[in-house]
């Protein structure tokens, strides 16, 4: 197997297993990883427009995550308000229940990140991040990721 193929399948395996662990941990809360991402973004950024949320999502492609938002609104986790000045725009914010679930998601994520930190201990993670960004930065998911890294310049150095 050539190195690029090995790398591709190793990344896919890590993504699948990480997603599987996340799905299991989120199951008691009745949400998916994509829905959890919406809740955490709203918790971190406060009220967002639908397009603003779409620009930050890594789990969904495109800038209009209407169906995903519909599910969290229907579940009572997110409130959707029409802009007072322009009815074409929606503002999204967490409900009290959404805030409670988002806080639970933050704890689940922290456990996952601790697992990742332990697996990465002693490794040159900056080189891995540099490679991953070279691969994805010009693509939609990479652009969303970089937009999330912008405010505090949280990209690991």
Backbone dihedral region for residue 83 (phi beyond 0: left; psi -120 to 50: alpha; all else: beta): beta
Instruction: Please determine, for residue 152, whether its predicted confidence score (pLDDT) is greater than 80.
Output: no
- Whole-number average pLDDT of the chain: 90
11-57 pLDDT tens trace = 999 999 999 999 999 999 999 999 999 999 999 999 999 888 988 99
The number of beta carbons lying within 10 Å of the beta carbon of residue 6 is 10
Q: Which residue has the higher pLDDT, 60 or 31?
A: 31
- Domain segments of the chain: what residues? 21-149
Instruction: Please determine, for residue 154, whether its predicted confidence score (pLDDT) is greater than 50.
Output: no
Which class is domain 21-149?
mainly alpha
CA distance 21 to 3: 27
Nearest to 156 by CA among 127, 132, 128, 126: 126
90-108 pLDDT tens trace = 899 999 999 999 999 999 9
Residue 16, CB-side half-sphere exposure with 13 Å CA sphere: 6
């Amino acid at each position: 197997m050539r190195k690029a193929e090995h790398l591709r399948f190793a990344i896919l395996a890590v993504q699948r297993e990480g997603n599987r662990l996340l799905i299991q941990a989120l199951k008691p809360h009745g949400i998916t990883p994509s829905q959890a991402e919406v809740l955490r973004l709203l918790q971190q950024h406060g009220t967002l427009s639908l397009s603003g949320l779409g620009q930050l999502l890594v789990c969904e492609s495109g800038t209009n995550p209407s169906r995903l938002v519909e599910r969290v609104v229907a579940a009572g986790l997110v409130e959707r308000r029409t802009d007072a000045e322009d009815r074409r725009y929606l503002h999204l914010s967490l409900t009290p229940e959404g805030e409670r679930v988002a806080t639970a998601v933050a704890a689940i994520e922290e456990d996952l990140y601790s697992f990742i930190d332990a697996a990465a201990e002693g490794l040159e993670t900056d080189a891995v991040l540099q490679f991953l960004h070279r691969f994805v930065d010009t693509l939609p998911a990479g652009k969303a990721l970089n937009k999330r890294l912008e405010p505090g310049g949280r990209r690991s150095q």
